[in-house]
Structure 1
């Protein structure tokens, strides 16, 4: 995954047991807030992850 603020590459663990959810995490490199939106597939439970800035833009 890449930070939508600075573009830094990072890894994040997603726990499917949490279900679909949204959370905010600070970028390890630039400390900007990243909104993490996780949606689990209704078919097989595969998580789809979308990162965005707190202002709602993707980049």
Structure 2
């Protein structure tokens, strides 16, 4: 079973820092989760960084990727 990793992110809409749980099974996948503060949809892209640690990039629906 994969262990979840807790990360702090800033909502691209309201700027609030929120805690999210990342699943290693989601590496190289994107998904949408609503902000816990403003309820707007945040796009998540989960990946492993150069140190092989779980990382995430978040962006709004309006951001070009």
TM range (shorter): 0.7 to 0.9
Q: CA RMSD in A?
A: 1.7
TM-score where L is the length of structure 2? 0.71
Structure 2, unmatched stretches of 5+, are 1-8
Structure 1 gap segments, 5+ residues each: none
Report the structure, 1 or 2, having the larger strand content: 2
Q: Compute the TM-score of the two structures, normalised by the length of structure 1.
A: 0.77
The 2-side partners of 1:44 and 1:16 are apart by: 14
Higher relative contact order (CA 8 A, sep 6+): 1
Aligned residues: 56
Following TM superposition, the consecutive aligned residue runs of length 4 or more in structure 1 with deviations greater than 6 angstroms are: none
